[in-house]
Amino acid sequence: MQRILIVGATSAIAEATARRFAARGDALFLAGRSAERLQAIAADLAVRGAQQVGSMLFDARSFDSVAPLLRAASDSLGGLDAALIAHGTLSDQGACQQSVELLREEFEVNALSAMALCTLLANQFEAQGHGVIAVISSVAGDRGRQSNYVYGAAKAAVTAFTSGLRQRLYPKGVRVVTIKPGFVSTPMTAAFKKGALWATPDKVAADIVRAMAGGTAVIYTPWFWRPIMWIIRCVPETIFRRLKL
């Protein structure tokens, strides 16, 4: 039985992952913005076998509430063994290009808040000598593209941050997992036309659960994004700047 904090618990990927945790009898603490959604998901996870499910309202833009959230989760579950940081927004690239305020907000939600959570979780897990921090980054963070470089830059920050954190915590017995999903059919991407590259939240969830249990540091999910992104990273800038990606 693991005691797991899930931030952004009402997101499709987090919910699918939480169901897998619940099915194996874990104790869960959910954080998200909508009280009624959190309650509905908590009830569902309890029916599916979670040993215990707590929840708390949490807005990622409110940095002061990070410490209270970790305290509440630890108190409720009697400690924490793992955390999944899964909240995020899909930035409107066009709007972000026109508004510094929006740009800052997207960065706060998608990058800074995840780093804030990681910072306090890292100290707690380091002190207790064990723990797993799994953070959902994105393939979009592997290289900035004109179609979504604000979102991509925020995710790149998360990727770099978790990479450094992983090094720092490795000798302390704490693992950090960076998760890079590709296209996932979720409400966040409901407006997109779907092709063969799209994965279901449940497929991504299966990969996340496996990575959190095993020793993988960085996962691409589904796996084929690893070679795809390798190629994209290899394209020289002289060519890349002419592409319409």
Partner 1 sequence: MPTGVSWGRWPRAQQRIIPITHRFEPLPQAAPMLVFGNGRSYGDVCLNDGGTLLAARGLDRFISFDADSGVLECEAGVLISEIIALTLPRGWFPAVTPGTALVTVGGAIANDVHGKNHHCAGSFGHHLLGFDLRRSSGEVIECAPGRNPDWFAATVGGLGLTGMIGTARLQLRRVPGEWIAGDSQRFGNLQEFFALAAQSDADYEYTAAWLDCAASGERLGRGVFMRGNHAPHTAVPPRVRARRFPLTPPISPLNSVSVRLFNDLIYHRPSAQQRHALWHYRPFLYPLDSVLDWNRLYGPRGFFQYQCVLPPAAAGAALPEMLQLIARSGQGSFLVVLKQFGDLPSRGLLSFPRPGATLALDFPNRGEPTLRLLESLDAITRAAGGAVYPAKDARMSAQSFQQYFPAWRQLQDYIDPQFSSSFWRRVTGSS
In order, the DSSP letters of 38-54 are HHHHHHHHHHTT-SEEE
Is 89 near partner 1 (CB under 8 A)?
A: no
Subset of residues 159 to 188 that bind partner 1, contact rule: CB under 8 A: 185, 187
Q: How far is the CB of 23 from partner 1 (least distance, A)?
A: 9
Terminal alpha carbon distance of the chain? 44
**3-class SS of residue 84:** strand
Q: For the CB of residue 234, give the shortest distance to partner 1 in the complex, in Å.
A: 32
CA atoms within 13 A on the CB side of 34: 8
Identify which of residues 164 and 187 has a Cβ nearer to partner 1 in the complex: 187
Is residue 151 part of the annotated active site? The answer reads yes
Shortest separation between residue 198's beta carbon and partner 1, angstroms: 8
Q: Which is nearer to partner 1, 89 or 128 (CB)?
A: 89
Extract the tokens encoding 124.
Answer: 């707690």
Residue 180 makes CB contacts below 8 A (sequence gap 6+) with: 137, 138, 139, 141, 142, 159, 218, 219, 220, 221, 225, 229
CB of 33 to partner 1, least distance (A): 12
Tell me whether residue 2 or residue 185 sits nearer to partner 1 (CB atom). Answer: 185
Q: Under the criterion CB under 8 A, does residue 203 sit at the interface with partner 1?
A: no
User: Cβ distance 31 to 9 under 8 Å?
Assistant: yes
Residues that bind partner 1 (CB under 8 A): 10, 12, 34, 36-37, 40-41, 43-44, 47-48, 185, 187, 190, 194, 198
